[in-house]
């Protein structure tokens, strides 16, 4: 019985202009049921807003969801904005419609996992618990 509780805090964010957030919500829900505190910021977030939310909320994990195809455009900017604010120790993952050929580029940016359609949500929860720096 411990009274001190350190919980994993996750930011789920959707950069850019696509308005389809079903996937982001499903992932947020799965992580919630997995015992995480999930901050969901809604659709149409700029890279600055996502980085600022990550800083203010002191999250351990940032998950980006994107279906618009602009990931190679927007994700590097999110990573830049995080770095600019000194947020350099969060676990990054992403999901959505992301072609296989972009995997290398995203890994190079620091994304530790890419979850595509058909992913079992439990795999995402497992990934977060196994990779988070706590």
Q: Which of 18, 20, 26, 52 binds other proteins (CB under 8 A)?
A: 52
Is residue 56 near other proteins by the rule CB under 8 A?
Answer: yes
12, burial (CB in 10 Å: exposed 0-12, middle 13-18, buried 19+) = buried
Region near other proteins per CB under 8 A, out of 33-41, 66-74, 91-99, 104-112: 33-41
Enter the DSSP assignment of 14.
-
The residues, any chain, with a CB within 8 Å of residue 41's CB and separated by 6 or more, are 11, 12, 13, 14, 49, 50, 53
Region near other proteins per CB under 8 A, out of 49-57, 63-71, 96-104, 110-118: 49-57
The residue ranges that bind other proteins (CB under 8 A) are: 1-7, 9, 28-29, 31-42, 48-49, 52-53, 55-58, 85-87
């Amino acid at each position: 019985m411990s009274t001190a509780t350190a919980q994993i805090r996750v930011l789920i964010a959707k950069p850019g202009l696509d308005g389809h957030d079903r996937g982001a919500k499903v992932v947020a829900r799965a992580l919630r049921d997995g015992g995480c505190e999930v901050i969901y910021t809604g659709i149409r977030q700029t890279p600055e807003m996502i980085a600022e939310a990550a800083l203010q909320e002191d999250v351990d994990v940032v998950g980006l969801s994107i279906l618009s195809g602009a990931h190679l455009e927007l994700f590097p900017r999110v990573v830049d904005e995080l770095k600019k604010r000194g947020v350099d120790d969060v676990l990054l993952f992403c999901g959505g419609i992301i072609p296989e050929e972009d995997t290398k580029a995203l890994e190079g940016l620091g994304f530790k996992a890419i979850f595509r359609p058909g992913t079992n949500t439990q795999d995402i929860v497992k990934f977060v618990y196994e990779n988070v720096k706590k």
